[in-house]
């Protein structure tokens, strides 16, 4: 009587199986398979709101308080100081500083410098088109590079996770939308410069608010619509993370 032995082949150590610690997680597989990931809606709103509060809400509050007590110059200085203080706290607590916070700090520092150096009402008003021009230059400089600014802001402000492999359609989207925002800020700068020369100061300040809000709203809407169009053309899907 012969005994037949069956030889069991061990799997190679570098081949992961389901349940193995070496096996890629479902998240990694799905992202590699053509998904982009956003946080759960509640967390998405919290993340975006926190970033906007740091970069816009806190400096506006600081400007309102200091401007009421000491005028436009101290108000702008307080706004810039608030942003840089927030950036320092971020650096200590997390080890990094969000790009939106850096942009806000640089623009406010430029504005504060113009106002404090001259004390001129004209230069106080001129800061608005100059700030928009500076933003347009910042966006335009990063658009043709491998790290367009919109891609960085999407990762920081809304915690967008991209596929692990490079995706030409997604990369082209971020470059194109970065150019879009550069154009919006440049157009706002030109429009505000024309208004500054044509209308009285109180009317100009009113138009500054209208132009800024309209430009940001239009840019956001176009960016979202472009993003949806890109997802459809490139066969990408959005996946929401866990709450």
Could you tell me which of 151, 159, 204 has the C-alpha nearest to residue 181? 151
β-bridge partners, 38: 240
pLDDT at 108: 86
The CA distance from 126 to 165, in Å, is: 45
CB 75 within 8 A of CB 124: no
The structural domains of the chain, with segments of one domain joined by +, span 37-119, 121-230
pLDDT value for 21: 37
* Both tokens assigned to 51: 């970033």
Three-class HEC string of 10-45: CCCCCCCCCCCCCCCCHHHHHHHCCEEEECCHHHHH
pLDDT value, residue 20: 42
Is the pLDDT assigned to residue 32 strictly greater than 50?
no
State percent of the chain over pLDDT 90.
18
Beta bridge partners of 145: none
**DSSP 3-state of 237:** strand
Tokens 């570098």 belong to residue = 14
> pLDDT higher for 51 or 135?
135
Pairing of strands 35-38, 237-240: parallel
Helix (H, G, I), strand (E, B) or coil at 130: helix
Condensed to tens digits (0 to 9), the pLDDT of residues 158-182 reads 878 877 667 788 888 999 999 999 9
Answer left, alpha or beta for residue 109, where phi above 0 means left and psi between -120 and 50 means alpha. alpha
- Quick one: pLDDT at residue 188? 92
- Confidence class for position 17, pLDDT limits 50, 70, 90: very low
Angle at 97 between CA 91 and CA 98, to 5 degrees: 150
- Please check whether residue 67 is in contact with residue 73, taking contact to mean a CB–CB distance below 8 angstroms: no
Q: Is the pLDDT of residue 185 over 90?
A: yes
Question: What is the per-residue pLDDT across 136-160, written as a single tens digit (0 to 9) for each?
Answer: 999 999 999 888 988 888 888 887 8
Residue 95: strand, helix, or coil: coil
List, for residues 62-112, the tens digit of each pLDDT value.
888 988 888 877 888 898 899 999 999 989 988 888 888 888 888 888 878
């Amino acid at each position: 009587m012969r005994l037949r032995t069956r030889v069991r082949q061990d799997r190679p150590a570098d081949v992961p199986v389901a349940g193995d610690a070496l096996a890629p997680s479902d998240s990694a597989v799905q992202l590699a398979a053509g998904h982009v990931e956003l946080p759960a809606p509640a967390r998405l709103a919290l993340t975006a709101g926190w970033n906007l509060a740091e970069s816009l809400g806190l400096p506006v509050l600081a400007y309102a308080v200091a401007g009421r007590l000491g005028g436009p110059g101290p108000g702008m200085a307080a706004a810039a100081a608030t942003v840089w203080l927030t950036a320092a706290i971020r650096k200590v607590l997390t080890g990094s500083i969000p790009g939106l916070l850096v942009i806000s700090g640089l623009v406010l520092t430029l504005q504060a410098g113009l106002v404090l150096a001259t004390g001129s009402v004209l230069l106080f008003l001129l800061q608005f088109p100059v700030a928009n021009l500076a933003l347009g230059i910042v966006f335009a400089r990063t658009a043709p590079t491998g790290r367009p600014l919109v891609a960085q802001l999407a990762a920081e402000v809304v915690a967008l996770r991209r596929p692990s492999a490079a995706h030409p359609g997604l990369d082209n989207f971020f470059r194109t939308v970065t150019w879009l925002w550069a154009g919006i800020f440049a157009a706002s700068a030109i429009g505000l410069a024309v208004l500054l020369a044509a209308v009285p100061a109180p009317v100009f300040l009113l138009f500054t608010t209208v132009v800024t809000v309209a430009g940001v709203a239009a840019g956001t809407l176009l960016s979202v619509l472009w993003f949806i169009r890109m997802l459809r053309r490139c066969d990408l899907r959005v996946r929401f993370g866990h709450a």
